[in-house]
Amino acid sequence: MNMLHLLTMKNELIQTAIENLQKEIPISIELKGTVPVDETLVVKWDGHQIQLLPWVRNEIRTQFYPQLAERFKNQKDLILVANKIYPKVKELLRADGIPYIETAGNIFLNRNGIYILLEHAKATSNRAPLKNKAFTKSGLRVVYQFLTYPEILNEPYRTIAEKAGVALGNIPAVIDSLKDAGFLLRKDKQNLMLDRKKELLEKWIDAYSLRLKPSLKIGEFRPKNDNDWTMVKLDSLDSTWGGEAAGEFYTKYLRPERGTIYTRLGKAELIKKYGLIPQKNGPIEVLEVFWENLPIEDPEFNVKLPYVSAILAYADLIQTGDKRCMDTAQRIFDEYIQSKL
């Protein structure tokens, strides 16, 4: 994609956002300037006027928020213009006072006497929905193995299926889909290798949170006698900590407030072995393990861990929308994940 085409797309996205916003409310908003560095949005509302520099992106997901917030820090003349902003990101943007406009016409602006909040137009998307077999529930289990243990990629299909906990027939379909999407390349005649791993990880996190994780949930619990949930001792042969507990382990930064357990046990076994009592909105969320290798052997620590992999801890934390969890997720990414992508 050449630079001229890219600039044209950005200009069209801004104009679409303006047009859809003006369909919703009688606001005066105009894009001035002939080149990107000079482009300015002039907003007039209720007797006030403000000029803002548009920062244009296609989609904004929660995992991008730390970088976005850093960019907008101490820059009061910027406004985010995006095709789609995920709901949790919008909450974070509003909490930090960062203005935004979505192409559907949704807006948040609190600057220079102007306060506007509109949040009912349905977000649009210029991307086709994922139909890739790699992002089905079974496919996500397989891709998780590839991202976490890339050496497994060239193992026999039966080995991959066993470690991912899926039927053997899923493996060639997932591999072909990854090839078609450009995430899998041939290294030589015998071996394949992942490509664009960071993008694949981002797509995996989105699809995991929307498609696979909800189906894994067993329930919410509290410890018997209302004891501190952090005192629950897990048997690494059947259960492991994810979420905030894993975040604390990897970074020594986060003080966990809520527990996340991945387990092989059924509900009755879980209650009996760990003394957990079902409770709506309880402090512990329990999910089914979606991989086969327990206990987890992490090469980073050379020990068997009662915690999920760094990638899954990152995925759990980055999607919460909670600032302290997202800060922890970023630390995990920087220290344990980035160098491997």
Q: What is the pLDDT of residue 188?
A: 85
- The SS3 assignment for 75 reads coil
What per-residue confidence (pLDDT) applies to 6? 47
Task: Give yes or no for residue 1 having a pLDDT over 70.
Answer: no
**Could you tell me if 144 and 164 are in contact, meaning their C-beta atoms sit under 8 angstroms apart?**
yes
For residues 318-323, give the mean pLDDT.
82
Q: How far is CA 11 from the centre of its chain?
A: 27
Q: What is the pLDDT of residue 34?
A: 53
3-state secondary structure of 11: helix
Domains and CATH numbers, the chain: 3-118 (no CATH), 133-195 (1.10.10.10), 216-340 (no CATH)
Give pLDDT, residue 294: 66
pLDDT surpasses 70 at 204: yes
pLDDT in tens, 243-261: 999 999 999 999 999 999 9
What confidence tens digit (pLDDT) does each residue in 260-305 have?
Answer: 999 999 999 999 999 999 999 999 999 999 998 766 555 555 445 6
Contact 209, 243 (CB under 8 A): no
* pLDDT value at 23 more than 90: no
What share of the chain in percent tops pLDDT 90? 51
CB 22: neighbour CB atoms within 10 A? Answer: 13
Contact 278, 268 (CB under 8 A): no
Contact 260, 243 (CB under 8 A): yes
| pLDDT, tens digit, 9 for 90 and up, residues 211-226 | 899 999 999 999 987 7
Which pLDDT does position 297 carry in this prediction? Answer: 57
In terms of pLDDT, which residue wins out, 55 or 35? 55
* pTM (two decimals): 0.70
Residue 263 DSSP class: E
> Once rounded to an integer, what is the mean pLDDT over residues 223-245?
89
Structure tokens at 16: 């679409």
pLDDT digits (tens, 9 = 90+) for 99-124: 999 999 999 999 888 999 998 765 54
Would the pLDDT of 332 be above 60? yes
Position 5 pLDDT exceeds 50: no
Residue type, 70: E
3-state secondary structure of 192: strand
Q: Is residue 85 within 8 Å of residue 93, measured between CB atoms?
A: yes
